[in-house]
Structure 1
């Protein structure tokens, strides 16, 4: 659904109490050059970015790209990490409101925990653009990817690598992200739906590892002590899957197919080396640029989309050569 300006959103929200997020707009993902041409030196705004954590390369890249892009645009930009602490995230956002931000870009720790801060933004007439992870209610627009589709794509590709629906058998270790996180749940649900099509496969879930490699190492060690017949690992991001791969290598366990999500270049290069099987793309840099573009559209009263899907795709041994680039932290969408 297209919207015209932030004041229109406030009026609609007052009338209906909530706002649906339903429209896919791939054209917004390609508008960076136009935005630079239109707004560089002219965007006299202060934009805050509340990042859920900086404990993963994905989130660090989001922050770095956002800061660089804001500098190019001439936007006053402030980024604060919540360090996976919901209370801190709410406090950080309130501090940014007090500092005079015109808009907030938000990557929430979970869908419900930042409701108080979003309500405070609404009272201050500050638009909230969620990125990567979404919230249940109160945001102006959402820039992300179909995380359920990412999980499904990995699951389907893995089933084929294991011999197909009728022949695949064994246990899959699923290394989980953050409890209550919409991204975690979507990547879990999409993957498990695909695996359910192969009756010989069983998914064993780990404790929540918050998308961090060190926690995934511990979780994998624990799971291997109580499970045999492991044929694959699926992590809700590549960083955790690489931690699991490290454990498998240390224990001398061979033949396990390691898969994940995000297109982390370390994982892509591991695919090239035959040490990793599958990932799906989730370029964090493009996410933040599109989020910034959408924010500027909102602030300038222009038409914008309530949901921008930045797209994804599978990387495996058949196409990995197209994506290897050691100058990048994550594989770039093509």
Structure 2
């Protein structure tokens, strides 16, 4: 009798084990080609996507392109060879990623781009991100307000730019200029491209502040570079004389605003972006239809509301739009 029950138990465990294997095999495979993980924003985005996929029982593999378009194209081919079902892609270059997009299209792999869009029309390509042009507009409106208000604003702004040729850089620049260029009293000094990296911004701004000691404001295309400017301003004893505006909602920047060392940042929560990208990717697999652009939304953090967003346990301020 004992042997009989043991045999039944063994068969039951084998069935359970086989069911688990089938379940894993049937789980969708999401591959993520990330532009880089050398930035807190991209690390948080990737970690959120990975966490969301795990919570939804999905196989998830990410590869770091290291800001190298050749590697990214090869990474995508690698993921397709592994048999992925849907590709998440944060492109190094909106045009240079064409070989990867073409390979995905040829293999009937749907693509969801995240944070940065691609150039050109591709079958089943959905972009999950934010309107970087509108972010620039929000930063520009705040800049004009701080420098005297619409029609009366005046001062010298040093602009620290992101990645040369990138759509994000272009939109954050153009949106900002669409507002501040209307003000005759505002002069803008466009600094070099610092690739969204703080150390590069520090080096560039050290030179810029020597050339333009009368600067009234710094506008940086992300918070990491804005905080680099803050560091230099503190070293030169000018932190109370120069306004600083950034973009992304990096928690360190939120604290700096709360402490009076920065003046504004435009929200760009990467955690929600990563979550939404995976949800959309799985929706695409299930046949749901989406517009070409899925907007994750944004907002503005200033001194008056910085306390509401500050949470030292997080790397970025949380922004989830209301339904």
2:50 is the counterpart of 1:67: yes
CA distance in structure 2 between the aligned counterparts of 1:178 and 1:94, rounded to whole angstroms: 25
2:263 is the counterpart of 1:263: no
Match of 2:113 among 124, 130, 139: 130
CA distance in structure 1 between the aligned counterparts of 2:153 and 2:230, rounded to whole angstroms: 21
For residue 239 of structure 1, give the secondary structure of its aligned residue in structure 2.
helix
2:227 is the counterpart of 1:237: no
1:41 is displaced (CA, Å) by 8.2
User: Which residue of the partner structure matches residue 302 of structure 2?
Assistant: 316
User: Which residue of the partner structure matches residue 39 of structure 2?
Assistant: 56
Q: Does the aligned pair in 1 maintain the 2:89–2:111 contact within 8 Å?
A: yes
1:302 is displaced (CA, Å) by 2.2
For residue 260 of structure 1, give the secondary structure of its aligned residue in structure 2.
strand
2:90 is the counterpart of 1:104: no
User: Which residue of the partner structure matches residue 152 of structure 2?
Assistant: 167
1:136-179 Cα offsets, whole Å, 9 max, x none, are 12261010111100011011011111111333222111111111
Gaps of 5+ in 1: 1-39
Tell which has more relative contact order, 1 or 2 (C-alpha 8 A, sep 6+): 1
CA distance in structure 2 between the aligned counterparts of 1:243 and 1:228, rounded to whole angstroms: 17
1:110 is displaced (CA, Å) by 2.0
Which structure's CA Rg is the greater one? 2
CA distance in structure 2 between the aligned counterparts of 1:156 and 1:303, rounded to whole angstroms: 35
For residue 154 of structure 1, give the secondary structure of its aligned residue in structure 2.
helix
1:49-105 Cα offsets, whole Å, 9 max, x none, are 111111211001011111111111111111111111111111111111111111110
User: Which residue of the partner structure matches residue 279 of structure 1?
Assistant: 265
CA RMSD of aligned residues (A): 1.6
Pick which of 190-199 and 115-124 moved more.
190-199
For residue 79 of structure 1, give the secondary structure of its aligned residue in structure 2.
strand
User: Which residue of the partner structure matches residue 194 of structure 2?
Assistant: 209
CA distance in structure 1 between the aligned counterparts of 2:48 and 2:154, rounded to whole angstroms: 42
2:274 is the counterpart of 1:288: yes
Q: Does the aligned pair in 2 maintain the 1:259–1:277 contact within 8 Å?
A: yes
For residue 303 of structure 1, give the secondary structure of its aligned residue in structure 2.
coil
When normalised by structure 1's length, the TM-score is: 0.85
Count of residues paired in the alignment: 295
Residues 257 and 43 (structure 1), Cα distance of their counterparts in 2 relative to 1, 3 Å cut: farther
Gaps of 5+ in 2: 1-22
Residues 192 and 43 (structure 1), Cα distance of their counterparts in 2 relative to 1, 3 Å cut: farther
